Amino acid sequence: EVQLVESGGDLAQPGGSLRLSCEVSGFTFSIYAMTWVRQAPGKGLEWVSGISVGGGIKYYADSVKGRFTVSRDNSKNTLYLQMNSLRAEDTAVYYCARKHGAGDYNFYMDVWGKGTTVTVSS
């Protein structure tokens, strides 16, 4: 069974840091590009970051560029999101999601985790 399980969500102070993890199983992680998408309470979906199959190409939304860093460890079947300089507006459920199909093109998501909650508040 294909599974994505996020972890690392927590309460953080403004200006603080968190690292999210997404452990995958049931498919060959190393041939799929991956993304992070977030959803603030009561709001719509917002794409956050994407990473290529090999990890050499990374994409970020303007709202997180320079503060968040996406990475992956293909030997551990795990995707990461390092979140620094957190702001109240980063409060959201963070989903990791697999890009549909192998390779680095046509970035839409066919498998999603259940999400992990990040709350930024003093």
Partner 1 sequence: EIVMTQSPATLSVSPGERATLSCRASQTISNNLVWYQQKRGQAPRLLIYGASTRATDIPARFSGSGSGTEFTLTISSLQSEDFALYYCQQFNSWPLTFGQGTKVEIK
Verify binding: residue 122, partner 1, rule CB under 8 A. no
Determine phi and psi for 62, rounding to 5 degrees.
-60, -30
Q: Count the neighbouring beta carbons within 10 Å of the beta carbon of residue 69.
A: 16
- Smallest separation, CB 83 to partner 1 (Å): 17
Using CB under 8 A, which of the segments 11-19, 75-83, 84-92, 93-101 binds partner 1?
A: 93-101
Using CB under 8 A, which residues numbered 99 to 118 contact partner 1? 100, 106-110, 112-115
Give the residue with the Cβ less far from partner 1, 5 or 84. 5
**Encoded tokens for 30:** 């190393």
Of residues 56, 62, 75, 122, which one binds partner 1 by CB under 8 A?
A: 62
Using CB under 8 A, which residues numbered 17 to 56 contact partner 1? 35, 37, 44-47, 50
Question: Interface residues with partner 1 (CB under 8 A)?
Answer: 35, 37, 44-47, 50, 59-62, 95, 97, 100, 106-110, 112-115
